[in-house]
Structure 1
Amino acid sequence: MSEPETQTLIGGPGQYTAINVPAAQSGRSSRAYKVAGITLLACVLIAGQAMVAYFLLSQRSDIKSLEDQSNDLKAQLAKGRSVAVPMRMHLPMNSLPMLMDDSVDQDSIQSTEAPEIDPKQATVCQLEAAGLKPVQVPGFKPVCDERGLYLAQQCYEGQCWCVNPADGRLIPGSVRSGRARCGAVVVTGSLSKALTA
């Protein structure tokens, strides 16, 4: 089988010569282009890997110094926690009413000495406060006012709640950590009365 030939013109102005070029040479040249392209791609990939290795090796000292700085900062933070000075917290103005204490100072009331109580004339609050009548929570002693009624706010182990001053019953939903706001309406039976602390 003979290979097909193509004619190519060669020459200068005025004189052209036709040369027959076998087609098989064009097939060999496309294979050569493929091999050259793959070789070039392999060289680019090898050169890229060499550059990455070079940059990693040249940056190793910088990475090591950054790791040392990070470890030093962690050590300083760990040391600083035990001697840190508390910072003043910035609060929005709309939370200011919650911070204001409008209740009676429990410490000043509890620090005063209770007068001798006559069990026949004492109120339930006074009997519970003196330990002469058991309470529902062991160890808790209610605080009474000068008339023998319960104070509107009662506290025990960091928890405070509001009670009905007449009978000492808990007002639902008033239990809080810290001071409770007890200047609200107290519901007794079917009537509601406004009682303030």
Structure 2
Amino acid sequence: MKLIVLTGIPGSGSTTVLNQTLERIDYVHLNYGDVMTEIAIDKGIVSNRDELRKLSPQIQKEIQKDAAAKIKESSKDKNIIVDTHCTIATPSGFLPGLPQWVLEELKPDTFVLIEANPDEIMLRRLSDETRARDMEMYEDIQLHQEMNRAASMAYATLTGATVKILENHDGQLDDIVNQMVETFQ
């Protein structure tokens, strides 16, 4: 069975691309942030997902580890796509979304990065009323995507996985979904 890690910074459109792709492939979707949120809510640490990134790095690390174990258990007999973030921008700096102890547990086959131009991401964030997102400038968005590329290659080095980068530009959803389907076969 395959375990694919799908990543993209907020506003890259990774969730939209994933939802369209899941209509055409036989994979189970697990959102790492949702699994972490369930665990944190059960522990009484947060009341919603957007509070996760404001937790101390140590608490985030503990929740990441618990989530990895839960996802691994779910992946024993199914193809899984884990939707997550390579890096998390925190007040203390970038936190790896998938540190070594998580990667050792997950053992993914492929990392797929969904990217877009920083100006596209800024506009998408402004129009998304469903989330409480922090505003970032063009340069900050570009840096975050560069950090994701560096982190994904480091993750691949630790796991032997491959890295695929797909660009999700406005008006080209069908193209990127076709590329995703090819990647997952």
Q: TM-score band, normalised by the shorter chain?
A: under 0.3
Tell me the TM-score normalised to structure 2 length.
0.17
Report which structure shows greater RCO (CA 8 Å, sep ≥6): 2
Which protein has the larger Cα radius of gyration, Structure 1 or Structure 2? 1
Task: From the two aligned structures, give the one with the greater helix fraction.
Answer: 2
